[in-house]
Amino acid sequence: MKPDELTDLRDMNGNRLIIRYTPNERSSHWITAISFVLLALSGLAMFHPAMSWLYALLGGGQWTRILHPFIGCVMFLSFLILGLRFWHHNYLDSGDIQWMMQIQDVLANREEKLPEIGKYNAGQKLLFFTMVTCLILLLASGIVIWRRYFSYYFTIEIIRFAAVVHATAAFVLIVGIVVHVYAAFWIKGAIGAMTRGTVTLGWARKHHPRWFKEIIGK
């Protein structure tokens, strides 16, 4: 099965289905999502004593310090696959600027008034590049503060600066993912796209009309 392909598959109401995500893309996405949850919770445990009860999640303080950086590498690698596969779908164009100027219509669900959206809308594209930036900053700063293997290559000033960068990037990513998950549940049918891999023709035409036309045109 190829992504962005109209298939002969049908849902239980008889609607024809389009492939939005391949099994490879979906497994990379969910590995990234599970790693993210583990990292956010274990990171918060290390960030402030008020959240130290979260250490229990990974088996206590020592295990959290050992496992957190390795899970970080898993998230970076699985996100790398997503980033490379979806990069070309996330270029901003003039329609995206117009979409952002009409944010009131977006929030009021007046989709018919918006410029035709391709595979992703401007909000998804901006969030995509926010994710890319945060993931790069988290990896780079995470290596500097990974005491066991790398910190002795750096001065204490660089390590302190990296700790601030790490916490800031983590905060931005957590806020971004809260928005991402909210949007995923807000748009009915979006979760199914990332679990089953398919969407109906009606879903594509309503939420991503330009993408829909490209697929029908094929």
Which residues are known catalytic residues? Answer: 180
In the bound state with ligand HEM, the residue whose beta carbon lies nearer, of 158 and 167, is 167
Cα–Cα dist 50/44, whole Å: 9
In the bound state with ligand HEM, the residue whose beta carbon lies nearer, of 55 and 86, is 86
Q: Which of 17, 18, 69, 86 is close enough to bind ligand HEM by CB under 6 A?
A: 86
The CA-CA-CA angle for residues 11, 195, 38, to 5°, reads 165
**Distance of alpha carbon 73 from the chain centroid:** 16
Q: Which of 6, 33, 51, 201 is close enough to bind ligand HEM by CB under 6 A?
A: 33
Q: CB of 36: closest distance to ligand HEM in angstroms? A: 3
Judged by CB under 6 A, the chain residues 139 through 198 that form the site for ligand HEM are 177, 180-181, 184, 190-191, 193-194
Residue found under tokens 């109209």 = 6
Q: CA–CA distance from 126 to each of 7, 90, 96, 153, 176 (Å)?
A: 30, 8, 10, 35, 10
Site for ligand HEM contains 71 (CB under 6 A): no
In the bound state with ligand HEM, the residue whose beta carbon lies nearer, of 55 and 79, is 79
**Distance of alpha carbon 163 from the chain centroid:** 23
Site for ligand HEM contains 120 (CB under 6 A): yes
